[in-house]
Structure formats: structure tokens, C-alpha cells
Amino acid sequence: MSLHLYQEKNVLTKEECETIIQKALPFLQKSQVTGEYDFDHFNQKKFRMSEEAHFHIIDDDVVTRKLRNKIKDISGLPISHQESICVINYTKDGYFLPHYDYFGHDTTDDNRSNQRLFTYLIYLNEDFEGGITEFPKENIKIKPETGLLITWNNVIDGTNELNPKSLHCSTEITSGEKWVVSVWVREHQADFTKNLLINN
Ligand SMILES: O=C(O)CCC(=O)C(=O)O
């Protein structure tokens, strides 16, 4: 049972990253929470402090399609398994506490039988302090770099059993603001324009 973390630099150019930021800006909304969490552990601290914008396959432009194709090539799974492109913006003091991206025991059967096998993150900028992506159970820390892609397995390879090592977070922003894209790749294709993600 292990975490397989893969990294690739310069998957997008600085200009392409900026194009995604500009596309997201008018659509930013307070981030919601799905997935599995241990709320007691966090003492009611707000779970995440960020805003985000979502783009479905039908919203694709040249840049987001390039990104989806890259994810398809690395994951070996068709684009139809990819959820929306989620552009996350953390401003000063923003963070995301440790969490899992897989659907845990508290989620719907629909989600549990179509797990988020992999998470893909693509950092759109690097001119900020803090905002490190950390995997506390593996003691791994990733410092964001413009155009860097990282991906990991949320479930045990070849199964849809939950991978406890995939616990991760984004540390507090101490200056500037962080922009990052996240894309979840599911076991099966689905219409991700429907509200499959809401579980409560
Ligand atoms: O912003 C980050 O570095 C992590 C984002 C994250 O944890 C997520 O999208 O699940």
C-alpha cells in the first residue's frame, strides 16, 4: 500500500497558465468540500479557505484541452473519465486542511462505485510564500512551480480500495496568492456536468 507520486515540469507554459487564471477570474466562488474528512480533528476550524471555478469538457479551449490530453496520456484513461477542471485560488491566509480526495464510507454508492482513482494538480504560478502541497503521512512537501504537474493514486493500485497514504493538504499562504488546477480522474466515464459530487 503506497503513494505513487509522479511529477512533470513545464506541462504548461507561463502564458498558458495565465490564460487559465484569466478564464477563471470572473467565475470564482467559495470552495465547497467533498471527499472524506475528520471534522472533529479540525476543531471546527474552517476546512478550506479558497475560491474556485469549474470548467466542464464543453467549456474547453485550446489550453484546457491540451491539459486534458496530457492527463489522458499520463493516466491512460479517456478524457471522459475526467471531472471538471477546477481552478483554485488561495489568497493570503488561505489553506486546505489535510483530506482525502477519494469518496469515503459516508458518500453515495454512485460515487463509491466510480472512485476518484487519481488526482492531478497543475500549479499556475509560484510568486507567493506558503501554499506548499504536503502529504503528511509520507512526509512529502511539494513547492509549487509554474507549469509543474503532480499526480498520485487515491486508491490502492489496481483496486478501488482507499489509500490512506494519499492524505494531503495545502499550507497557509503567508504572502501573495496561489493558483492551481485540480482534476480528478474516475474509474468510469460519467456526465460530470451533473451534480454527482454532492453527497450531503
Ligand atoms: O492546493 C493544493 O496544493 C492542494 C489542492 C487539494 O488538496 C485538492 O484539490 O484536493
Q: Where are the domains of the chain?
A: 6-189
168 lines ligand 1 (CB under 6 A): yes
182 lines ligand 1 (CB under 6 A): yes
Q: Say which range, 101-105, 110-114, 178-182, has the weakest mean pLDDT.
A: 110-114
180 lines ligand 1 (CB under 6 A): yes
19 lines ligand 1 (CB under 6 A): no
Assign 40 a pLDDT band (cuts: 50, 70, 90).
Answer: very low
**CA 167 to ligand 1 center in whole angstroms:** 10
Alpha-carbon dihedral angle through residues 19, 20, 24, 30, given to the nearest 10 degrees:
-140
- CATH number listed for the domain at residues 6-189: 2.60.120.620
Q: Give the pLDDT score at 37.
A: 52
* Rounded CA separation 36/52 (Å): 19
The pLDDT of residue 176 is above 80: yes
Place of cell 493538504: 169
pTM surpassing 0.75?
yes
